[in-house]
Amino acid sequence: MEILKIDNVSLIYQTDEAETEALKDVNLSIQEGEFVAVIGPSGCGKTTILTLISGLMKPTSGKIYLDGEIIDRPVGDIGYMLQRDHLFPWRTILSNTLLGPELQKKKTPEAVEYASGLIDKYGLGEFKKAYPNQLSGGMRQRAALIRTLAYRPKILLLDEPFSALDYQTRLKVCDDVHGIIKSEKKTAILVTHDISEAISLADRIVVLTHRPATVKKIYEPKLSGSPLARREDQSFSRWFDVIYKDVSV
């Protein structure tokens, strides 16, 4: 079932000095439960696409639909995970993950139980009362993902969420995040400029052109297993070469 549709979307940033055409006629359809990576060079318009999906900004032309309804304002059904974990240092891990329900004034016992259950399920149970600075970078990203899930979003938007981590941690956190998203059966859109990351995580890879971004190619590598297992797959480097050529010309 189609959950998200980007229909001929263009976006022009207007500032006093200049007009910047960021997106041009972007079309994309995403199915429920899919993990899609959107890849393209720095500054091509990746974050812009996520901002439009989140409803924080409207397209200059074209429309975006979530479950058949036009997105024209910020909607609660979308979870956003960023490069930095943005956990509040003065809140415990449990209270950080309850931020969403609190802001929505829905901090019911059921919501607390759900967030608390996710923390247990994904290995942070003993850190519920700990503060973010007591956790490693990888654990903090996991906590940030759990906080995003506690909103019960229909779609997760991930904006280069691993790029602030060192290489070893990044591999581990990729595995974690992929496992959690798949076991919670969430639809996810990851934007990244890292080709290996896209191939190891996504069911489908959308390659964008330079700015103004439009969809250049879509690939479906059909690798299976965890991101680490996919990196070991014999076709991994072949996919890397194909996509590298697309991104660099």
Positions touching ligand ADP (CB under 6 A) are 13, 15, 20, 22, 40, 42-48, 211
Q: How far is the CB of 79 from ligand ADP (least distance, A)?
A: 18
Q: How far is the CB of 14 from Mg ion (least distance, A)?
A: 19
What does 142 bind: ligand ADP, Mg ion, none (CB cut-off 5 to 8 Å by kind)?
none
Q: How far is the CB of 45 from Mg ion (least distance, A)?
A: 8
Of residues 50 and 149, the one with the C-beta less far from ligand ADP: 50
Name the residue among 117, 84, 111, 79 with its Cα closest to residue 98. Answer: 111
Contact between 23 and 213 under an 8 Å Cβ cutoff? The reply is: yes
Q: How far is CA 78 from CA 67, 106, 170, 179, 225, in A?
A: 12, 16, 24, 19, 26
Of residues 40 and 62, the one with the C-beta less far from Mg ion: 40
Contact between 172 and 199 under an 8 Å Cβ cutoff? The reply is: no
Q: What are phi and psi of 95, to 5 degrees?
A: -75, -30
- Per CB under 5 A, does 10 bind Mg ion? no
Q: How far is the CB of 135 from Mg ion (least distance, A)?
A: 25
- Per CB under 5 A, does 20 bind Mg ion? no
Of residues 11 and 111, the one with the C-beta less far from ligand ADP: 11
CB-based closest residue to Mg ion: 47
- CA-CA-CA-CA dihedral for 156, 162, 163, 168, to nearest 10: -170
- Per CB under 5 A, does 47 bind Mg ion? yes
Q: Ramachandran region of residue 72, left (φ > 0), alpha (ψ -120 to 50) or beta?
A: alpha
Q: How far is CA 28 from CA 43, 64, 100, 136, 206, in A?
A: 20, 9, 28, 36, 9
Of residues 106 and 193, the one with the C-beta less far from Mg ion: 193
Q: How far is the CB of 60 from Mg ion (least distance, A)?
A: 19
Of residues 46 and 186, the one with the C-beta less far from Mg ion: 46
- Binding-site ranges for Mg ion (CB under 5 A): 46-47
